[in-house]
Amino acid sequence: MARRFGKIAIVASDAPEAQKAAANLVSRYGTHPPDEADAIVALGGDGLMLQTLHRFMGTGKPIYGMNRGSVGFLMNEFHENDLVDRLEEAERSVVHPLLMIAHDAAGMPHQARAINEVSMLRQTFQAAKLRVYVDGLVRLEELTADGLLVATPAGSTAYNLSANGPILPLNATLLALTPISAFRPRRWRGALLPDHARVRVDVLEADKRPVSAVADHTEFRSVTRVDIAMDRSVDLVMLHDPGHSLDERILREQFGY
């Protein structure tokens, strides 16, 4: 019987624990160049998983992560045994990234994609002042805050949760729009948006109150406007052991703190 993943590639973070695990797995199962592989086995933490998803974005290659890092929310438990069988039995989770287009003071656009969130952050001691549009309509005339973020369901348990944003089920057709340390309006706690919404954020008083825009780990500084929308043209595939799917982890997270 043909296997789904006849060729696997093993990649790892620079952490000694991850490098040691990679060497052991390669000796037992071998490895192929990532471009030739049917699946990628990523060893590390959530940071390595995000880097791997970004690296192979657009290829459709499924990523099976095993935790050899610190948090490992996106990862499976690490075991050296039965890797081939675990891959065959793994369940797929498909997510789409956010596309961010950030405009600088000269009006030049800069593009990046985010799997977790797009965030806008003050660059100095002064709070940012932001105007928020949703589908072309002004929904918040002026937000004074440390910043603002738009999170996907997959990223809702990351920075979004730390900023007191809601946890979203993976299959929810929603985005979380969450303020970061809002000063005015003081009672505004954010909004849930349909995932087809197009968000635009203008930076007010940009010269006096500079703001950076960050898509996961890609940052552009001193922006004046940021447009954010889900990019459905890109599928990101993660593999998880049965009973430990990303849906299950997100659900469990809501009862674990």
Per-residue pLDDT of the chain (257 residues; tens, 9 = 90+): 567 888 999 999 999 999 999 999 999 999 999 999 999 999 999 889 999 999 999 898 999 999 998 777 788 999 899 999 999 999 988 889 999 999 998 899 999 999 999 999 999 999 999 999 999 999 999 999 999 999 999 899 889 999 999 988 878 899 999 999 999 998 899 999 999 999 999 999 999 999 999 999 999 999 999 999 999 999 999 999 987 766 776 777 777 65
Number of structural domains found in the chain: 2
Does the annotation place 47 within a ligand binding site? Answer: yes
3-state secondary structure of 51: helix
Looking at the structure, do residues 73 and 171 belong to the same domain, yes or no? no
Asked, for residue 190, whether it belongs to a domain, the answer is yes
The strand pair at 63-67 and 236-240 is best described as parallel
Looking at the structure, do residues 215 and 116 belong to the same domain, yes or no? yes
CATH number for the domain spanning 163: value is 2.60.200.30
Asked, for residue 112, whether it belongs to a domain, the answer is yes
pLDDT value for 4: 82
Tokens of 132: 């928020």
The backbone region for 19, taken as left when phi is positive above 0, alpha when psi lies in -120 to 50, beta otherwise, is alpha
3-state secondary structure of 86: helix
Tokens of 190: 């954010």
Looking at the structure, do residues 149 and 245 belong to the same domain, yes or no? no
3-state secondary structure of 21: helix
The backbone region for 42, taken as left when phi is positive above 0, alpha when psi lies in -120 to 50, beta otherwise, is beta
Looking at the structure, do residues 70 and 41 belong to the same domain, yes or no? yes
Looking at the structure, do residues 91 and 102 belong to the same domain, yes or no? no
CATH number for the domain spanning 18: value is 3.40.50.10330
Looking at the structure, do residues 90 and 106 belong to the same domain, yes or no? no
**What's the number of CA atoms in the CB half-sphere (13 Å) around residue 249?**
20
Looking at the structure, do residues 74 and 115 belong to the same domain, yes or no? no
Residue 77 belongs to domain spanning = 8-95+234-255
3-state secondary structure of 1: coil
Looking at the structure, do residues 202 and 221 belong to the same domain, yes or no? yes
Tokens of 40: 């990628």
Looking at the structure, do residues 102 and 221 belong to the same domain, yes or no? yes
Does the annotation place 147 within a ligand binding site? Answer: no
Tokens of 82: 């039965």
Residue 46 annotated as catalytic: yes
C-alpha closest to that of 26 among 13, 15, 41:
41
C-alpha closest to that of 42 among 5, 68, 81, 4:
68
pLDDT value for 1: 52
Asked, for residue 1, whether it belongs to a domain, the answer is no
Q: Which residue in the list 38, 46, 85, 227 is annotated as catalytic?
A: 46
The alpha carbon of residue 40 and the mean position of all alpha carbons in its chain are separated, in whole angstroms, by 18
Asked, for residue 58, whether it belongs to a domain, the answer is yes
pLDDT value for 257: 53
Asked, for residue 222, whether it belongs to a domain, the answer is yes
Q: Is 128 exposed, middle or buried (0-12, 13-18, 19+ CB in 10 A)?
A: buried
pLDDT value for 157: 87
Does the annotation place 116 within a ligand binding site? Answer: yes
Looking at the structure, do residues 157 and 225 belong to the same domain, yes or no? yes
Looking at the structure, do residues 40 and 111 belong to the same domain, yes or no? no
Asked, for residue 148, whether it belongs to a domain, the answer is yes
Does the annotation place 27 within a ligand binding site? Answer: no
